[in-house]
Each structure stands twice: as C-alpha cells, then as structure tokens.
Structure 1
C-alpha cells in the first residue's frame, strides 16, 4: 500500500513539474495594447520570466503550414531572432525545437488541434536545448491571425498563480447556507406533517410534497446509475450534455417553485381559481398565483438555458437555480435512519475518491473522469459545460485564469449528500428535544470539511473529491454527539425514540374490604389506546392535546 501511494504521489508531482501554464502576449509592433493567450510549456527546456515587462518581445514567423520535422521545412534564412509557429505532429518535440534552435529561433510555439500536453523530452535533450518551447491551441492561433497583422510580436511569460481565490468564500457561504437551510426546512416539514396528521386536515392548502424514504436497495441502484452516467458522459459527452441541460432546466424550475411557494401563498392576492375545464392539469382549478409563479419559474430556467454560456452573469442564474434544486431535494428525500445515512455517505465516498484519484490510471489523457466531466472535456466540439455545479468566477486577477478554469466549481452532490445527514440530525433533534445539538454539530462539521477541501485544493493544485473530507467530518461529528449523549442505539435505528410507557391500571376501589386487589375495568378503552399511540409518536408521554399544540407551535415556527 505504501508503494502504491508513493507511485501515485510521484506521478502527480511529475505531471506538475512537466506541464506548466504560461501566457503568450501578442501585439502589433509599436502598439502597447495586446492580448494574452494560454500556452502550456515545460520549464525543463527553458524557464520563462514571471513578469511581462521582463519578457523579450520577438517577432513571430508563421509556419503553421508545416510541422517542422525536416530541414526542408526550414525557410531560407532560418528564424533569426524570431519565434516560429508550427503545427504539431509527425515527429517528436525535440526534433522540432532542435531544428528551430540551430536555425536561429529564440523560442518555439507548437499549435495543437488536440488538448494541450506538456512537451516532454529526456535529460540530455533538456541540457542541449536552451530556448523555450510551448503549445498553443489551434483556436487561439486562428484568433491571433484575425486580430493581429503578419508582423506581430509575442512575449512569453509565466506569472505566478494565486494559491487561494476569494471566490472560495462565496462558494463556502452558498454551500453551508444551503445545507443548513435545507436541513432545517426538512426537519420542520416533518413536524408540520405530523401536526397535519393529528389534525386530519385534508384541505387544499395542505399541498406539501410527499417525502421519499430511501432504502438500501435504492442507494445501491442510485450509485450504479451514477457510475454508469458518469462513464457515458466521459465517452459521449457531446451527445449527452444537452440531455443533462434539459433535465436541469425542468428540475430546477420545479425546485424554484417549491422554494418560492411558501412565500407566495402568504400574498393575499390571486387566490381565485380558474374556471371549470377538462384540461389535463388545469381541471384541478389551480389558483391564479400558483400559475403565475409556475410561469415565472419556467421563464427563469429557460432564460438560463438560452444564455447559459454568458460568463458575465449566467453563473448567477445557474447558482440560484442550483440552490433551489438542492433545497427541494433535501426536503423531499428522507433518510429514515443513521444506518441508511452511513451507507449512503460511505458508498458515495468510495465512488468520489475512485473517479477522481484512481481513474487517471485508466484514461489515455491521464485526467480523472470526474474532473474531466465536471469541467467539460477540453476536446469537446460543443464546448458545453454540465450545469450540475455551483460556479463562481475567479476574483483574483491572474492571466493564467485563461488557461485553467476561470470558475471554481462545487458539485451538487457535495451539498445534497451531506445535507441529507444534516436533515436527519435535525429531525432527531426535534423528536428528542435536544436543542438542535445534532443539527448544529453536523452543520459545523460540514463547514470544517469544506474548509479542509479548500486547503487540500490549494496545496495539491488539482481537483479534489470533496466527499473525501466532507463525509468523515459530518459522520464522525454526529456519531460523537450521539456517543456523548448516550443515544447511539436510538440515533442508529432512527425509530423508538421514546420507550413504550407502562400500562396504567385503574385505581383500586378503596371501599373493597375483602378479596385480592383487582384493577377496575376500563369503561372506555378506545380513547386509552389512542392516547398510548400518541405517546409513542411524541417526544414525551404528554397528552394528545399538549402534543398537538406542541406540533402546531413547531409548524408555525417553520412557516
């Protein structure tokens, strides 16, 4: 095991040394304004300065009609003090850069139609070459040809990338806030549902969605579906991404409606219903305000769908719809026991780690399937991104953000999976009257796990499986609270929170003077059975009237 970890760490460090992001600043001669383009270089060929002002501005030589693999490809007069731009292919990086160097070039830009990979060589080749060599994307080359003239100049440099970006604070607040609000809302809905059950209210206003209790079989099926969908997306990304976008639009509009309806129904207007009709949905005669809210939610999701690639502002809509979707799922899906919570979180923990850290050993590109799918394959011809993430643009100014992902991402699964445990803890708090200690502890554990994820991301400079840190922090925290309060058996099973009260016998008749004491027969056994049932359902052996009043109080607070 130690050897395997050493090999993994060596491979990760080797990839970081061989491939580094840099910038190629193009401009026309005599003009101060220019444009930065991403390059991928290997510092073992030659180092690049960190500051643009210290980089040499040299004229380029457009040789993109050639691959520069033989001396016949070299133009007459060579590349004296120029940086040639050539196509990738047909020979090694060393052969290209050696031909460029012996013909007077001061650098080499290799235009690649496929993904950017580090230009590798061996030790002796690195010692022989003293000019920088870097890869430039074909799309950037086309833009350069359109933007600048033939006498354009280029300066290659490699600015330092900030270790931590301030957008992590925004992602942290959104994620922890969603988990806390969703978990609290789910527990409060449970209380209200129990109150409505006691009240036997079947009115039209009781419109809350039914919860879905998750079983072990459902967990296994869900994980298998996740694995299958992830692999299919990896191989058929350009064909399935549009299906995921459509599903997100539908699901997020439903989630937005579910989140906004508790506020809209407090508005005293629009309560009137549509006339009688035979239409599929409208025959139930929904309220006008419900129809207006539905139209608004659909309009928001459609607006995002149309303008989803607008990096300036579309991410705000995506995050709003994503948070609404997560809240909807947290209050709809219910884990009935801590045993089910543990099973779900541990299985998805293994799933997340496998697809981030293990799959790079099986893919041709050496990239993890999870990171590749979440960020969108670099060789995708649609250039679409999956919407199932919270995304916030980088706030620290750095030209390297053009190369790497300009957004920081957090998947919905990293919110919903621990959030289901937080919701379970809140329900348990309410039933045990434990002053929300489980809920608060689990929420704090989630926040600590997310901070550890950000630290690991900054230190390792690569995509992290967030559940690797979130699952232990939330599971162990809630488990520790249950052990401390000596409630682990109840917390584990999720049922029988209050032991069955003893059977109450009628008082003995004091006027009886002879014979053994006997219990007076119950004259009305049905109410007594009802009271026993109510005692089993509540947190304490209170009377039905007191319990319903308590439930009503909790329900009103949740509103």
Structure 2
C-alpha cells in the first residue's frame, strides 16, 4: 500500500506537471539570420504563445523616450510594431498602457537591473493591458542591434516547462547507486577482513585498514557539535573558509577517486606491475591511477565555476568522496546509528527551517552555506525568478552538492542553467546506516543480505517521497527529514521480525577502551560474540 501511494502521488504530479514558465524566449530574425534571447514575463498578466510557430511576428523598434506618457512619440512610428523602451521613471504598467494606446503590439522593457517578472498590487491597472509585456536585458538588445541592425523581426513565446525534469531521475539514480555501492563495499571489506584472520590478527588488520569506527555516544555528540560549529563558522566567515574547503575537497576527492578505481581494478584482477628504484618498489598501476585522479581533481579546481560542463567532474569526485566516506566511517551498532541519524535529522531541520527566522535576509544558514552568498537570489517557492542583467562574476561555492542540469532546458538555457541539487550529507548519512546493515549481514552470515537490501529499498522510497514533497510543495526539502525515519524504522522492523533486535541494537562486542584505546581482552568478550575487523 505504501508503494502504491507513492507511485500514485508521482503519477498525479507527472500528469499535472506542465507549468507556464516565467522565463520566455525572444526570437529575433532578419532574412536567414535568427537568434534567441532571454526575456521574463508574468504569464498571468500577459500570456504568450507556447510555440514559436504559434507566435505572431512583428517589426521590432526602440524609442529613446521612457514612455511614461505619449509626448514626443509619433504613433505612426510604433503602430503595429513590437516596441523596446528603457526601464525607469514609471511603472511597467504605465509604460504598457501608453504603448497600447499608441498602437504597439508588444512592449519589451530593456533593463540594466536584475530582471524580475512584472507584478503589481494594482489589479485594475494590469487588467486593462491587452498587449504582451516582458523584460529583456539591455545588453541583449545591443547585441541584437549589432547582429541585425535596425531591420529586426520579433516573436515572443514561452514554451511550457515540465515541473518534473528528467534530472530528478538522474539524481535519484546517482544517490541510490552511491549508497548501495558504498554499503556493499563496506560489507565486502568486512568479510575480507574477517576471512583474513581472527582474534588479534583481525584487530591488527582493522588498525591497518584506515577505517574509523564511531563506537561511543559521546563521540557522536562531539562529531555533531563540530558539524554545527563548522556550519556557523562558514556562515560568518564564508569568503575565507570557502577556499579552505575547496582545497580540502580537491585533495580528499582525489584520494577517494584513487581508492575507488584501485578497488575496481583489484576486483577485475588487473596486474599492478612494479619497478624498483634505489631499493624502493613502485606500482605502475598505482602511479598511473594517482596521475589520473590528481589530474581530474586539478581540472575541477581550475574550472570549478564553469557551469556548462564542470558539474560532471564535480559529481564524479562527489560520488567517489561519498563512497569512500561510507566505506571508511564505521558505526559500531544500531544504537550508534540511531543516535547519529537522529541528531543529524534535528541538525538538518533546525538549520533549514528554523534559522531563517534569525538571519538578516531570511535565508536559512544551510542554504546560504551550500549555495553561497547569492543564495537569496535563487528561486523561492518555485514561483519567482531573477535573471541578472549583466554577466555575473562567479561566486565561489563549497563543493558539497551533487548537481545535474535540467535536461528539459538543455537546448535553451538562455536565462542561465538550472540544476537539480542534492547534498552529500543526504547520501553519506543514510549510507552509514546502509553500510552498518551490510556489515551486520556479514556478521550473522546472511546469504540473502536481508538487512542491506531492505535498507537500500527504504532509502529509495525515502528519496522518492523527498522529491514528491519537493514537487508538491514547490520548495526544497531537508531530505534527512524523510530518509532518516524510512531507513531507521525499516531496519528496526526487519531486526524485530527476525528476532535479532538485541544483537542488531548492540552490534558486536568489539569495543575500544577510552583509557588505552585497545580492544577489550578476549576474557571480557562473550563467547558468542562476533568480532569485526
């Protein structure tokens, strides 16, 4: 029933997904030459044709007056034409009414300021407007004049944009595959380590593996407190710390990418090859891999603000980073999983929903840090768009997001690329629980991997509900609000149904003494305990 309800919600959303976009297209032509430019309009006041073929073509002219009144304008010059005037001195509706009185068929307002769709509190005034009204960049009009001269023919149209873009499906695939692979990798490493030795040997293998285990509730609280502190520091000292995080990500992602590629090649049985220099042995495969991974990281760092294609490298490095993090950080028990995920759920909700009441611009600290200082210029509620009037200097952003451009607007992107985004935390945090479930399957020797598979399915359903909530509400959602309950409740339910809830809750008896940082002695372990690597 739960699956049917989710599919029903998505189906209804798909069937009602065509929306009238506020970005529209100005198609200018002269003879065989043609070009498209970005415009914005309020479709509720001045609806435009949805297709280029259905749009009416008019000659395009610009007048020097601001058109706040009809003085100085020859009606014969503008009658039956699309009119361009500069922004300023009076409202958009005043200009539109004057243009309409003079016989113009369309009014384009050229702007040197940020383009925002025309809106008004005076409904009566706008109800009198019968001609299309839109804003365009003044720089675009200057470019059009250079290309076409004064002989320009214009069409305005606003192709409907699907509310559900295929990029959401790509993002869903990326997140689920990353979580599943990270969990599987963690379980595979655990099985390999257990098979390689027992007792003290296992402990030694663990120490050499580089994995980090969170086994104490106190350490979990400290970990979350550090995250809160770092987020607040980033909010107040963003312009400085952003470069620190970029450098850290470049290094960490290169190492993670190397680790992922090396594991794949090892699994495929690819020979490593080696040579010796001054009694030091070097692996040819490792050197080649290191060169490739470092090169990818350096290219990303150099072109990180290039929107058109750099998202591919950022997502590749992000996937590797998440995979390596999920495999490396090990939660020792379901108790620790519950404490960590619950605290991070509160953390996510607080910094997304509560902090806007305390910030000056009304933007949450989480959004401000993730999207950068210009986060307030993003879409709000899916209804309002802002298009810069001039090329903007790229703002540095912290690489903590998976980004996939809207595929439905791939050939347009006249007003700027739009992305579907997902934070690394929405992959890593549930992924740590999936990894624990995968290791628990190894500890109980479950051939069907029941815990791992059920947790992966729960994550998939949680992501689907997250995207459905985002589409229905028209605003971004803290994904952990849905992912944490789905994964925790599902895992606990499976353990309860199998009668393994106590063992699942406590994990194994492998612990570390705070004083000595050494494993408990064999005498202090229960006879039926399972010791992980």
Residue 36 (structure 1) aligns with:
36
What is the aligned counterpart of 1:538 among 510, 530, 533? 530
What is the aligned counterpart of 2:479 among 456, 466, 473? 466
Q: Relative to structure 1, is the Cα distance of residues 301 and 148 closer, same or farther in structure 2, using a 3 angstrom cutoff?
A: farther
Q: Relative to structure 1, is the Cα distance of residues 91 and 474 closer, same or farther in structure 2, using a 3 angstrom cutoff?
A: farther
Displacement after TM superposition at 1:160 (Å): 1.4
Contact 1:25–1:34 at 8 Å: present in 2 too? no
Q: Relative to structure 1, is the Cα distance of residues 497 and 98 closer, same or farther in structure 2, using a 3 angstrom cutoff?
A: same
Residue 45 (structure 1) aligns with:
45
- For the pair 1:297 / 2:293, whether they are aligned, the reply is yes
Residue 61 (structure 1) aligns with:
61
Residue 427 (structure 2) aligns with:
415
Residue 228 (structure 2) aligns with:
223
The higher radius of gyration belongs to 1
In the alignment, the residues of structure 2 paired with residue 19 and residue 536 of structure 1 have an alpha-carbon distance, to the nearest angstrom, of: 64
Residue 485 (structure 1) aligns with:
498
Displacement after TM superposition at 1:314 (Å): 3.6
In the alignment, the residues of structure 1 paired with residue 65 and residue 245 of structure 2 have an alpha-carbon distance, to the nearest angstrom, of: 41
In the alignment, the residues of structure 1 paired with residue 364 and residue 66 of structure 2 have an alpha-carbon distance, to the nearest angstrom, of: 30
Residue 321 (structure 2) aligns with:
325
SS in 2 for 1:215: helix
Q: Relative to structure 1, is the Cα distance of residues 370 and 497 closer, same or farther in structure 2, using a 3 angstrom cutoff?
A: closer
Residue 208 (structure 1) aligns with:
209
Contact 2:271–2:285 at 8 Å: present in 1 too? no
Contact 1:26–1:152 at 8 Å: present in 2 too? no
State the TM-score, normalized to the length of structure 1. 0.73
**Bigger RCO (CA 8 Å, 6+ sep):** 2
In the alignment, the residues of structure 2 paired with residue 317 and residue 338 of structure 1 have an alpha-carbon distance, to the nearest angstrom, of: 34
In the alignment, the residues of structure 2 paired with residue 41 and residue 344 of structure 1 have an alpha-carbon distance, to the nearest angstrom, of: 46
Residue 103 (structure 1) aligns with:
102
Residue 425 (structure 1) aligns with:
437
Displacement after TM superposition at 1:203 (Å): 9.9
Q: Relative to structure 1, is the Cα distance of residues 462 and 60 closer, same or farther in structure 2, using a 3 angstrom cutoff?
A: farther
In the alignment, the residues of structure 2 paired with residue 205 and residue 495 of structure 1 have an alpha-carbon distance, to the nearest angstrom, of: 15
Residue 403 (structure 2) aligns with:
391
Contact 2:356–2:365 at 8 Å: present in 1 too? yes
Displacement after TM superposition at 1:399 (Å): 6.4
In the alignment, the residues of structure 1 paired with residue 142 and residue 398 of structure 2 have an alpha-carbon distance, to the nearest angstrom, of: 26
SS in 1 for 2:30: coil
Displacement after TM superposition at 1:88 (Å): 3.6
The one-character-per-residue Cα deviations of 1:320-377 (angstroms, maximum 9, x if unpaired) are 2211111111112223333433343334434444555566777788776656765664
In the alignment, the residues of structure 2 paired with residue 475 and residue 407 of structure 1 have an alpha-carbon distance, to the nearest angstrom, of: 30
Contact 2:30–2:148 at 8 Å: present in 1 too? no
Contact 1:22–1:157 at 8 Å: present in 2 too? no
In the alignment, the residues of structure 2 paired with residue 60 and residue 366 of structure 1 have an alpha-carbon distance, to the nearest angstrom, of: 41
Which stretch of the first structure deviates more once superposed, 187-196 or 215-224?
A: 187-196
SS in 1 for 2:441: helix
In the alignment, the residues of structure 1 paired with residue 134 and residue 60 of structure 2 have an alpha-carbon distance, to the nearest angstrom, of: 14
- For the pair 1:315 / 2:318, whether they are aligned, the reply is no
Contact 2:220–2:339 at 8 Å: present in 1 too? no
Contact 1:353–1:468 at 8 Å: present in 2 too? yes
Displacement after TM superposition at 1:185 (Å): 1.5
The one-character-per-residue Cα deviations of 1:158-182 (angstroms, maximum 9, x if unpaired) are 2111233333333222211110110
- For the pair 1:271 / 2:283, whether they are aligned, the reply is no
Displacement after TM superposition at 1:146 (Å): 4.2
Number of matched pairs: 482
Displacement after TM superposition at 1:497 (Å): 9.3
Displacement after TM superposition at 1:447 (Å): 0.7
In the alignment, the residues of structure 1 paired with residue 41 and residue 172 of structure 2 have an alpha-carbon distance, to the nearest angstrom, of: 33
SS in 1 for 2:403: strand
Displacement after TM superposition at 1:465 (Å): 3.1
Q: Relative to structure 1, is the Cα distance of residues 224 and 262 closer, same or farther in structure 2, using a 3 angstrom cutoff?
A: same
Unpaired runs of 5+ residues, structure 2, are 1-16, 378-387, 512-520
Contact 1:21–1:38 at 8 Å: present in 2 too? no
In the alignment, the residues of structure 1 paired with residue 204 and residue 341 of structure 2 have an alpha-carbon distance, to the nearest angstrom, of: 38
Residue 136 (structure 1) aligns with:
136
SS in 2 for 1:164: coil
Q: Relative to structure 1, is the Cα distance of residues 264 and 136 closer, same or farther in structure 2, using a 3 angstrom cutoff?
A: same
Contact 2:211–2:328 at 8 Å: present in 1 too? yes
Q: Relative to structure 1, is the Cα distance of residues 197 and 133 closer, same or farther in structure 2, using a 3 angstrom cutoff?
A: farther
In the alignment, the residues of structure 2 paired with residue 407 and residue 361 of structure 1 have an alpha-carbon distance, to the nearest angstrom, of: 26
Displacement after TM superposition at 1:240 (Å): 6.2
Residue 13 (structure 1) aligns with:
none
Residue 22 (structure 1) aligns with:
23
Residue 176 (structure 2) aligns with:
176
Q: Relative to structure 1, is the Cα distance of residues 143 and 471 closer, same or farther in structure 2, using a 3 angstrom cutoff?
A: farther
Aligned-residue CA RMSD (Å)? 4.0
Q: Relative to structure 1, is the Cα distance of residues 269 and 228 closer, same or farther in structure 2, using a 3 angstrom cutoff?
A: closer
The one-character-per-residue Cα deviations of 1:138-160 (angstroms, maximum 9, x if unpaired) are 55445434443333222222211
In the alignment, the residues of structure 1 paired with residue 424 and residue 132 of structure 2 have an alpha-carbon distance, to the nearest angstrom, of: 41
Residue 523 (structure 1) aligns with:
none
Contact 1:490–1:496 at 8 Å: present in 2 too? no
Residue 518 (structure 2) aligns with:
none
In the alignment, the residues of structure 1 paired with residue 323 and residue 251 of structure 2 have an alpha-carbon distance, to the nearest angstrom, of: 15
Unpaired runs of 5+ residues, structure 1, are 1-15, 277-283, 499-528, 540-550
Contact 2:234–2:241 at 8 Å: present in 1 too? no
In the alignment, the residues of structure 1 paired with residue 343 and residue 135 of structure 2 have an alpha-carbon distance, to the nearest angstrom, of: 40
The one-character-per-residue Cα deviations of 1:230-250 (angstroms, maximum 9, x if unpaired) are 5655xx5xx766554443322
What is the aligned counterpart of 1:475 among 488, 495, 508? 488
Q: Relative to structure 1, is the Cα distance of residues 359 and 425 closer, same or farther in structure 2, using a 3 angstrom cutoff?
A: same
